[in-house]
Amino acid sequence: MTKKPGINQAKADNQVDTNIKSNNKNSNGTIKKAKMSKSTRDNMITYGIVPIAFIIVQILEAGNLISNLMSGLLVSFCIYIILAVSLNLTVGILGELSLGHAGFMCLGAFTSAFFSKCTVDVITFAPLRFILALLIGAAVAGLAGILIGLPVLRLKGDYLAIVTLAFGEIIKNVINALYVGRDQNGFHASLKDALSLNMTDDGEVIIDGALGIIGTPRDSSLLVGVLLILLTLFIVLNLIKSRDGRAIMSIRDNLIAAESVGINITKYKLMAFSISAALAGVAGVLYAHNLNSLAATTRNFGYNMSIMILVFVVLGGIGNIRGSMIAAVVLTLLPELLRGLDKYRMLIYAVVLILMMLFNWSPKIVAWRKQHTTRYFINKIFRRELKPANIDQNTADQNKGGQ
Amino acid sequence: MISFISYLINGISLGSIYAIIALGYTMVYGIAKMLNFAHGDVIMVGGFTIFWTVSTQGMSPLIAIPLAVVLCTILGVTIEYIAYRPLRQAASSLVVLITAIGVSYFLQNLALLIFGANPKSFDSMIPVPPMQLLDGQITILGETTVTVISCLIIMGGLSLFIKKSRPGQAMLAVSEDKGAAQLMGINVNKTISLTFAIGSGLAAIAGLLLCSAYPTLSPYIGSMPGIKAFVAAVFGGIGSIPGALIGGLLLGIVEILGRAYISSQMADVIVFLVLILVLLIKPTGILGKKLQEKV
């Protein structure tokens, strides 16, 4: 079990290298054409994984080969993938650490569930209602991203991290204390309790404080999730490839240099941050419509969730979209696969997490791994000498890739 | 007015605990430039050690407390050696952050496995009688007195240690510039280990004080105070020891007053809002040094 994610990870690592290499080359006009095709091919693989995985799951489901528990998790996979890919936009592409991603997801979830619950009798055509809810959830989360990002993105590094964490907690706690009801006079809101809404008799409480929203129509399904993943990938991968994406990455690589060539730092930081927030809102919409009752708890929208998403991103390779997807699935699956170990599963999960981080990132282990590749063993068996220059080249590449 | 003063005293008491925890964060951050997310869980380990030795083994608190401090110190140094040191040269500082989260999960689940998820009631270990002020209108609990005094002693002792002793000076040097410190013959690895040792030892004391003031014990007890204390460290300017004191006290007072006068549900919201306001006005915290940008 410990082996499998390791292999995925090693693949993902190489992916980071190639990604960064191709980024470097992209800016260099002469080799652009050849490399563009490589990045397009890379993107095609990233897109391709999703429908292939979907088809495999459909076949397995038709053959009754997956357990009930697992099929219940399928939409969760989609949610986590969208979250991981969108956070990677902030962390990997923009290069800023955000610990408030769950807050944006929370906003998307609650606004969309609110909308769906209010219009469930008005708009009876479910797909249309869901699309509208999706747009609203994404727009509100994205808007919150702009409002929060505008003052906060001036901060750097760990300060930004702690402020985003604070915003995430604020959003969660405010929603937990929020009561919204509707009666013939319109909407009423209160931060105290349901009684202070002062509604007439026909009034209905829609957001009931810590109990949240009950009775959201369950419009999410695996197909919807997969489509939304593809949409997210389309937005993020195209952004990375575009002129704007290169501007964002230049801010990550060297802020002062980017500023001095006339890149509007605030604009591009806000662009990446708000798109990332809007996509987190999309994941929230998917989440809200996958459950009957939606409540903001520490488990689903607290900082632990934000950290969990960050774990996906870092383990999958910072800046590597495909890696984020794989890590999200593997790490969501891992505790379920370890369920047989009962009490020990989260302990093992923690150990695996630490070991994976050490295996992937410790400079000594990485250097050792680069030397002990398959080729090394083949050479050893056939008693061939390894060219020292070859190893040096590998480690140099690795160092460059890690930056 | 009387109730205001007693809230203020409660706030100072809570703030002192935050300040002691924040010290651990701030020292480690100052030297290793990493957020040690597992720090909150070291507090929990300290609390459980004292609980276990006193309640189930029947030992005297006078033995249990030093034992907890020693155990947490060893734990902190071991964590640093196994999980953080190999990654110190890693390209991204995020990597150590995630490993720290892994360590945090590990400690929480280990405690869950050993002691179970049910909260334990923790008898206060502090035998100081409460004080009565203004004809009994204000009562200061023994725990509060001990917390505030130990916080002040720790702050003073630590400031002296860093200013006057050679290892303290080495810490200062390493936090300024690791490479240059190494060239001057300072053993960087040992200095970082020492920092973790001090921070974790303080975490054990913080665990004792936290569990005495809020007498329940569960595997997750360390995480929220840990986050709050980290906020306090950022508040005061991370890396600065007086900053941790000011930040901790301010945070404790804001939290208790917010809970008393505005809304108990919104107390955390108020705490975080104040943090954001402070950081927007002074982006490196109250006592934080201004960062210089190198071109």
A150 touches chain B (CB under 8 A): no
Place of tokens 């989609």: A78
Which residues does residue B121 pair with via DSSP β-bridges, in sequence order?
B216
Residue that has been written with the tokens 């309790």 in this structure: A193
**Sign for the pseudo-dihedral over CA of B149, B42, A87, A76:** negative
Distance, CA of A365 to CA of B86 (rounded, Å):
9
pLDDT of residue A4: 40
Least trusted range by pLDDT, from A8-17, A325-334, B171-180: A8-17
- For residue B268, the distance in angstroms to the closest alpha carbon of chain A comes to 7
Min mean pLDDT across A192-201, A292-301, A364-373 is at A192-201
Q: Which amino acid is at B117?
A: A
CA atoms within a 13 Å half-sphere pointing along the CA-CB vector of A56: 7
Q: Would you say residue A57 has pLDDT above 90?
A: no
Please give the average per-residue pLDDT across A257-286, as a whole number: 93
Residue with the larger pLDDT of the pair B290 and B101 = B101
Of B218, B237, B209, whose CA–CA distance to B26 is shortest? Answer: B237
Spell out the long-range contacts of B64-68 with Cβ–Cβ below 8 A and sequence spacing 24 or more.
Answer: B64/B125, B65/B125, B65/B204, B65/B205, B65/B208, B68/B204, B68/B207, B68/B208
Residue B88 lies in a domain: yes
Residue A337, both tokens = 């696969």
- Cα–Cα dist B43/B111, whole Å: 12
Q: How far is A64 from chain B (nearest CA, A)?
A: 34
Measured between CB atoms, does A400 come within 8 Å of chain B? no
Residue A114, pLDDT > 70, answer yes
Collect all residues of chain A within an 8 Å Cβ-Cβ radius of residue B105: 346, 349-350, 353
The amino acid at B132: Q
CB pair distance less than 8 Å for A311 and B98: yes
Residue A173 contacts B, CB cutoff 8 Å: yes
pLDDT at B78: 94
Could you report the per-residue pLDDT of B44-81, keeping only the tens digit for each? 999 999 888 888 887 888 888 899 999 999 999 999 99
If pLDDT is split at 50, 70 and 90, which confidence band does B294 have?
low
- Mean pLDDT is lowest, of A110-119, A178-187, B26-35, B252-261, for A178-187
- Interface membership of A364 toward B (CB under 8 Å): yes
Strand order through the sheet with A186-190: A186-190, A179-183, A204-208
pLDDT at A384: 61
Q: Does B264 touch chain A (CB under 8 A)?
A: no
- For chains A and B, CB pairs below 8 A equal 133
Structure tokens at B28: 């480690």
**pLDDT of A402 over the 60 cut:** no
Whether residues B105 and A169 touch (CB distance < 8 A) is answered with: no
Chain B, window 95-124: residues with a beta carbon less than 8 angstroms from a chain A beta carbon: 95, 97-99, 101-103, 105-106, 109-110, 112-113
What are the chain B neighbours of A157 within 8 Å (beta carbons)?
93
Name the nearest CA neighbour of A79 among A339, A361, A356, A294: A294
Mutate to test the interface with A, among B36, B97, B284 (most CBs of A within 10 A): B97
List, for residues A353-395, the tens digit of each pLDDT value.
Answer: 888 888 888 888 888 887 777 777 777 777 665 555 444 444 4
Residue B133 belongs to what H/E stretch? strand B131-133
Q: What pLDDT is recorded for position A352?
A: 85
B139 lies in a domain? yes
Residue B30 forms part of a structural domain: yes
Assess B268–A contact: CB distance below 8 Å, yes or no.
yes
> Cα–Cα distance between B117 and B217 in angstroms, integer?
10
Across all residues in chain A, what is the average pLDDT?
80
Task: Say which of A315, A346, A363 has its CB closest to residue B89.
Answer: A363
pLDDT, averaged across chain B: 86
Does residue A346 belong to the interface with chain B, where contact is any CB pair within 8 Å? yes
Residue written as tokens 């009798």? A121
Quote the pLDDT of residue B295: 55
Task: Name the residue among B77, B44, B80, B29 with its Cα closest to residue B206.
Answer: B44
Task: Write the burial class of residue A341 (CB in 10 Å: 0-12 exposed, 13-18 middle, 19+ buried).
Answer: middle
pLDDT of residue A363: 83
**What's the confidence (pLDDT) of residue A403?**
38
Q: What pLDDT is recorded for position A249? A: 93
Would you state the pLDDT for residue B228?
87
Interchain contact, B94 vs A314, CB within 8 Å = yes
CA-based nearest residue in chain A for residue B294: A256
Domain range for B32 is: 2-223
Shortest Cα distance from B90 to chain A (angstroms)? 6
Lowest model confidence (mean pLDDT) among A239-243, A269-273, B76-80, B115-119: B115-119
Residue at B14 is within a domain = yes
Average pLDDT in the A74-78 region?
89
- Are the beta carbons of A303 and B295 separated by less than 8 Å? no
Helix axes B142-164, B188-213, angle to 10 degrees: 170
- For residue A351 the two structure tokens come to 């150990």
User: What per-residue confidence (pLDDT) applies to A8?
Assistant: 42
Q: How far away is chain B from the Cα of A94, in angstroms, using its nearest Cα? A: 14
**Nearest chain A residue to B230, by CA:** A162
Model's pTM, two decimal places?
A: 0.81
Report pLDDT for A3: 38
The number of residues in chain B equals: 295
Of A28-32, A194-198, A248-252, B219-223, least confident by mean pLDDT is A28-32
B126 to chain A nearest CA, in Å?
A: 32
Write the residue in A154, A354, A402 that is nearest to B106 by C-beta. A354
- Say if residues A356 and A5 touch (Cβ distance below 8 Å): yes
CA-to-CA distance for B218 and B225, rounded, in angstroms? 13
Between B245 and A339, residue with greater pLDDT: B245
Single out the residue of B248, B249, B246, B236 nearest to residue B284, CA to CA.
B236
Q: Do B280 and A151 touch (CB under 8 A)?
A: yes
Of B210, B193, B221, B201, the C-alpha closest to B66 is B201
Instruction: Write out chain B residues lying below 8 Å of A402, CB-based.
Output: 90-92
How far apart CA A133 and CA A141 sit, in angstroms, is 12
Q: Is the pLDDT of residue A66 over 80?
A: no
Of B86, B98, B269, the CB nearest to A314: B98
Is residue B68 one of the residues assigned to a domain? yes
- Report the C-alpha gap between B4 and A284 in whole angstroms: 42
Q: Note whether residue B238 is domain-resident.
A: no
Structure tokens at A53: 């995985």
For residue A118, the model assigns a pLDDT of 86
Tokens (6 digits) for A82? 């969208």
ipTM: 0.84
List pLDDT tens digits, range A123-178.
Answer: 778 889 899 999 999 999 999 999 988 888 887 777 788 888 889 989 998 888 88
Domain count, chain B: 1
Which of A:290-309 have CB within 8 Å of B? 303-304, 307
CA-based nearest residue to B151, from B267, B71, B229, B49: B229
Chain A environment of B37 (Cβ under 8 Å): 307
Position B285 in a domain? no
* Residues 218-257 (B) with a CB less than 8 A from some CB of A: 223, 227, 230-231, 234, 238
The pLDDT, as a whole number, for residue B293 is 57
Give the separation between CA A360 and CA A353, rounded to whole angstroms: 11
Instruction: Using CB atoms, pick whichever of A256, A353, A362 lies closest to residue B102.
Output: A353
Q: Is B286 on the interface with A (CB under 8 A)?
A: no
In a domain, B232, yes or no: no
- Run of H or E including A307: helix A303-316
Asked if A39 and A26 touch (Cβ cutoff 8 Å), the reply is yes
What's the start-to-end Cα distance of chain A, in Å? Answer: 29
Nearest CB to B295 within list A256, A344, A399: A256
